[in-house]
Amino acid sequence: MDISTTISSIKLKNPTILASGIMDEDAGSMQRIIKRGGVGAVVTKSIGLTARRGYPNPTVIELEHGILNAMGLPNPGIDHYGEEIEKIKHLQTPIIGSIYGANPDEFIELSRRMEDLDVDALELNLSCPHTKKYGLEIGCDPYLVRKITCAVKENVSIPVFIKLSPNVTSIIELAKMAEEAGADAIVAINTVKAMKINIDLRRPILSNKIGGYSGKAIMPIGVRCVYEIAENIQIPIIGVGGITTGEDAIEYFMAGASAVQIGSGVYYRGIDIFKTVCSEIENWMKKHGYKKLSDLIGVAHI
């Protein structure tokens, strides 16, 4: 059974990837994920030029069908985070460096420095739903998406993936702009903009009021976005949002994704979820007569 996949020039032994923001704050947590043997690649925490504390608590709440968070992109900055990447490079699992910035110049500087750390690819976070300066103000503007993608592609030689938001009028237009600018893959989707109010206190629960919703409830949105993007572009797509089982991943593959990222699923099924999902994918493929994962990609397009 062949469940390997290729995204641009990166060959993955299986199609599961640790999503940014989940157990990637330091080398120790990423090592735990990698050493369990199930993950195909890991995405780092989204890193900026300088350290950022993020928002004060409360920043995360569990809801009935998912997780709502407004962390505010806390990170130690590229200078210090580089030390964490150095500690896991020997583990021979592809590392995708996630970066965010306020303008093309910041993305250029970060992309160059991430490439110097020998990451295998870059993921440009253009879609954080709860930070205006670093998120939706950039990710909602197709021409700014194109400008940033173009700028980064001109300054690095490793693959560049663009992470898009569902909180836009047309995710198709954004994906097209990224492809025209030379992006090597699209990552869809980031979390869905949402909030929760404490009716007794009559106040929003999150300190930032607005957060990003992830988990099972957003999976139909993610699948729809992947399907629509696949109808309109030729570069690979990495599906994200609500994946907790092999069957979930297969739905994304049929919609057009070549790989999937798992984030909140780690919370629900533990760090062995990658190994478990791969086993479930293989069992489903065997039951339905598929020998190669590539034969599943996009089959729902009729």
The answer to whether 129 and 210 are in contact (CB under 8 A) is: yes
- Rounded CA gap, 242 and 217, in Å? 7
- Rounded CA gap, 251 and 224, in Å? 10
Pick the catalytic residue: 128, 150, 225, 278? 128
Coil, strand or helix: which one is 41? strand
- Give the Å distances, CA to CA, from 207 to 67, 72, 130, 149, 198: 15, 10, 11, 32, 12
Can you read off the two tokens belonging to residue 273? 């979820």
- Give the Å distances, CA to CA, from 10 to 82, 95, 149, 158, 258: 21, 10, 19, 10, 12
- Give the Å distances, CA to CA, from 250 to 14, 184, 197, 213, 287: 13, 22, 35, 22, 13
Is 278 an annotated catalytic residue?
no
Coil, strand or helix: which one is 241? coil
Q: What amino acid is encoded at 12 in this protein?
A: L
Kindly list the catalytic residues: 128
